[in-house]
Amino acid sequence: MAARPMETAVRHVEHFQYQTRIMPINPLNLGQFVFSGPRKSFLEDWEIKLSKASPDAAHLLEAASQLRTTDFPVAFPTETVYGLGADATRASAVLGIYAAKQRPSDNPLIVHVSCLSQLRRLLLSDGPSVSTPNPSIDPIPSIYHPLIARFWPGPLTLLLPLPTPSPFAPQVTASLSTFAVRMPSSLLALALIHISQLPLAAPSANASSKPSPTTAAHVLHDLSGRIKMILDGGSCDIGVESTVVDGLTQPPVILRPGGVSIDSLRKCPGWEGVVVGYKDGAEVGIPRAPGMKYRHYSPKARVILVEGPLKPEFVKDFLEDGRSIGILRTREWKDGELGQIGHGAVATNSSSMNGNEIGSAVSTGAKYAKEDAHHVPPSPTTIFVPPAASLSRLEPNGNGNDDDSSAFKPTTTDVWTIGLGPDIAEVARGLFSALRDLDLKGVGVIFVESVGDDDGQGETAAAVMNRLRKAAEIELKS
């Protein structure tokens, strides 16, 4: 009996190891971007004149060719996280994503487009081309027009009605009557979609349930041998996935928190009453959007989420058991507080992280110096690149007081700590990288200090806490 397509795809990955290449691309070296509309916006039709002498352009053309002519997905950066893209219109190509990630096929995928005319053509079910459809018809529901004008290109995903016949492979929508779509602001992502002339179905480019990748090295760590090509465009700017919204219901609903806040959405006409429609834990049944059903963003180590400041007594049992532990700090610790973790421990082996090599990087910075041309924000913005985080190992200095119940006896247990700082944007950029780096240190448990998702820090804080709660096995309250 012949195997079903998904079974064939999974066995294909299990029995063969591919040579996975990392192909660096600086978007500034691709060529010239030409806009045809009066607003000179990526929302309208545009072209790219690739530089014939540019190795970056050659890498882009090779990736686009692989997407068009094979079933192998391509990993590429967006402004949120790295995605694993394939032709959204071909079932065999989409199955390549599920096989590489070992991801359940009942989880829908987000479709990525490079301009509004491409999206409109998909909604009119005339095929995947980016050529301009009938201008007198706008199949995009009017409820989304204010969001598109304000937030696209950018980290916002819209839930749209699936046209009949569907232009997508059935695995993209997971049997739902809707599909999710966004236009990324990453210049490299936009160029790849445009050159391939394809809508790209692209979940995060990690092994299923693991922390999302924010560097090419993260992708290589998870998917080496499972995919053939990774486009390296440096570190991602935002660090958490896009916000997903459903405007087809009343009131409109946020299905997944991300880079666009609920307050920002409520400033748009028709979205004043938008409500939260997601849970921080895994949900049952068929998910309406990506990231809703299964346990996600989890390192190998157990994750313990501490709601509030991390107290020394939380760590005591783990130190006494001799287990190596990791600590992610999201607030500023006062002098002496680190010393309470492990009876007067002191930080040693502290080093600035590089960001380019797995195991040596907590990548909150960028591989390239960021410039506005790398990403296309919907409105003028400043792209801030934080300093690299620091990974330190705590060691006992033997100066503690045995009568002090908040201090512990000297221990040889490795305690690795990463301070992401209190700034929520820096926490979001560094979170997934930090979880991965602590995994590589072989820690058995990771304590994570929470960030305030209800104290005015906005939807980025809500997105971070949503990911942490999905990763955590235990939640403690200070």
What is the spatial distance between Cα 92 and Cα 427, in angstroms, rounded to a whole number? 37
Name the token pair of 418. Answer: 């990463």
| 48 CB neighbour count, 10 Å cutoff | 18
DSSP letter string over 311-348? PHHHHHHHHHTT--EEEEE-SPPPTTTGGGTTTSEEEE
Paired strand residues for 46: 35
Distance CA 118, CA 199 (A): 8
pLDDT of residue 291: 57
Residue 127: phi and psi, rounded to 5, are 120, 175
Residue 105 CB coordination number (10 Å):
18
**Secondary structure (3-state) at 81:** coil
Cα dist. 370→120, 383, 384, 449, 466 in Å? 32, 7, 8, 29, 28
- Buried residues in 186-225 as b, exposed as e (16+ CB within 10 A): bbbbbbbbbbbbbbbbbbbbbbbbbbbbbbbbbbbbbbee
Spatial neighbors of 134 by CB under 8 A, at least 6 apart, are 124
- Give the residue carrying structure tokens 């009938």: 134
Q: φ and ψ at 20, to 5 degrees?
A: -95, 120
Helices (H), 124-215: 145-151, 170-173, 187-196
Q: What are 406's two structure tokens?
A: 């908040």
- Whether the CB-CB separation of 205 and 70 falls below 8 Å is answered with no
pLDDT at 334: 57
Region at 286 (left for phi over 0; alpha for psi -120 to 50; beta for the rest): beta
DSSP class of residue 141? Answer: -
Q: Which two tokens stand for residue 291?
A: 């990231």
Beta partners for residue 178, in sequence order: 161
Separation between Cα atoms, residue 364 and residue 352, nearest integer Å: 11
Query: Quick one: pLDDT at residue 451?
Result: 84
Q: Beta strands 445-449 and 302-307: pairing type?
A: parallel
pLDDT in tens, the chain (478 residues): 333 333 333 334 444 589 999 999 999 999 999 988 777 789 988 999 999 999 999 999 999 999 999 999 999 999 999 999 999 999 999 999 999 998 777 789 999 999 999 999 999 975 555 555 556 678 999 999 999 999 999 999 999 999 999 999 999 998 899 999 999 999 999 999 999 999 999 999 998 778 899 999 999 999 999 999 999 999 999 998 999 999 999 999 999 988 898 889 999 999 999 999 887 655 545 566 665 555 566 788 889 998 877 777 777 777 666 678 888 888 766 545 555 554 433 333 333 333 222 222 222 222 222 333 344 434 322 222 233 345 656 554 444 344 443 443 445 568 888 888 888 888 888 888 888 889 888 888 999 988 876 544 566 788 888 888 888 888 887 6
- Picking from 226, 168, 237, the residue whose alpha carbon sits closest to that of residue 375 is 237
CA 338 – CA 398 distance, rounded (Å): 14
140 within 8 A of 124, measured Cβ to Cβ: no
Beta-carbon count within 10 A of 447 CB: 24
pLDDT at 350: 35
- Cβ atoms 408, 400 nearer than 8 A: yes
- Report the C-alpha gap between 192 and 275 in whole angstroms: 34
Report the candidate in 376, 48, 18 with the shortest Cα–Cα distance to residue 192: 48
Residues 178, 388: Cα–Cα separation, whole Å: 40
Element holding 82 (H helix, E strand): strand 82-87
End-to-end CA distance of the chain, in Å? 58
Taking the C-alpha atoms of residue 169 and residue 6, their distance in angstroms, rounded to an integer, is 13
DSSP 369: P
Q: What is the pLDDT of residue 9?
A: 39
Structure tokens belonging to residue 215: 């560097």
| Local structure of residue 334 (DSSP, 8 states) | P
> Are 207 and 229 in contact, with CB atoms under 8 Å apart?
no
b vs e for 346-367, b when ≥16 Cβ sit within 10 Å of the residue's Cβ?
ebeeeeebebbebebbbbbbbb
